[in-house]
Amino acid sequence: MKKRVMIGMSGGVDSSVAAYLLKEQGYDVIGVTMKLWQDEDEELIEKEGGCCSLSAVEDARRVADKIGIPFYVMNFKNVFKEKVINYFIDEYIKGRTPNPCIACNKYIKSGEFFERAKKIGCDYIATGHYAKIEFDKKLNRYLLKKSITDAKDQTYALYNMTQYELKHTLFPLGYYTKEKIREIAEEIGLVVANKPDSQEICFVKDNDYAKYVKEHSNRKIKEGYFIDKDGNILGKHKGIINYTIGQRKGLGIALGKPMYVVDILPQKNAVVLGEHDEVFSKGLIASNVNFIPFDDIKEPIRVKAKIRYSAKPQDAVVYKEGNDKIKIVFDEKQRAITPGQSVVMYDNDVVVGGGIIEKRI
């Protein structure tokens, strides 16, 4: 009897080809697009390459029909609002810079999507992520590994996966380059073969995070003061949601020399500015930590760690720091370590784990 897999289909080329590959591998494949939008008006937003518009649903439906698999649209609005949108807004209000894609993978794709797949008798879920899952007999554990191409590797957003989730998840694209995926899409005649990739957060129009927070929060965004590290007032800011660590442009203040956001103090409604060197830090404290090759660490371990999706992994040492926290000290100072973002640790191509950055040290 064929193993059944439910795959999330965004209407893009990656998830479309992933569905095709799974069918070719002999799985009983069910295609599902997740309905995430909150407002009916927002459903009409057409983002080229976006994953949440009406055209994306129709693209996914056409692909499913082309490759011969059943297709459904499932409503995830409430859980998406609670776990992703509300989290996104709350973090900005707190002066932090969240990564909603990581929350979406944890709570929606590996969470609610997974639960619904089980209810309809699926053995696995699948997505179009560029990552690999392999079982290590010596460790007796499933490992999350980088895809064969660093340019498209998406393991940074997947570090929260548990052993159970890894066991029941398929990432068919982990062994392919993006170029090969588009080539396959063209060969089998998929309408999405040359569809551009989506680069923005799916629910934020024009990449304007601050505007989104203002429009969807019932909390008043107050102006405050720019200060230096000694607490001296330098000028007025427009509200802490408009700034992130390391920012130089768009501050709206002239001080005769380049100045950068080096800290955000929500309790004081203040944004701390400093010179270039002050943006660099030796290490960080992270919470909500998840390890993959093992349950926890007792002794310090060496890793390569990256502090944001686009960063290159850097040499560092990880220390246990309380029940659910770690301290990471880098060999070389890192620029703009940002609370709210995730730090993800690697051992060569293996994801050691990750956590949410609480503060720099």
Cα–Cα distance between 203 and 205 in angstroms, integer? 6
- Catalytic one of 51, 101, 104, 122: 104
Tell me if residue 20 falls in helix, strand or coil: helix
Task: Confirm or deny that 198 is annotated as ligand binding.
Answer: no
Residue that has been written with the tokens 């007796």 in this structure = 140
Tokens standing for residue 162: 């548990």
**Active site annotation includes 202:** yes
Task: Confirm or deny that 28 is annotated as ligand binding.
Answer: no
Residue that has been written with the tokens 């926290």 in this structure = 325
Task: Confirm or deny that 31 is annotated as ligand binding.
Answer: no
**Active site annotation includes 122:** no
Cα–Cα distance between 240 and 220 in angstroms, integer? 11
Task: Confirm or deny that 6 is annotated as ligand binding.
Answer: no
Task: Confirm or deny that 11 is annotated as ligand binding.
Answer: yes
Q: How many CB atoms lie within 10 A of CB 14?
A: 25
Contact 308/341 with Cβ under 8 angstroms? yes
Task: Confirm or deny that 15 is annotated as ligand binding.
Answer: yes
Beta-bridge partners for 71: 31
Tokens standing for residue 112: 């609610």
Task: Confirm or deny that 95 is annotated as ligand binding.
Answer: no
Task: Confirm or deny that 8 is annotated as ligand binding.
Answer: yes
Q: How many helices (H) and strands (E) does the chain have?
A: 9, 17
- Catalytic one of 51, 52, 101, 202: 202
For the annotated binding site for ATP, the residues are: 8-15, 34, 128
Q: Which residues are catalytic?
A: 104, 202
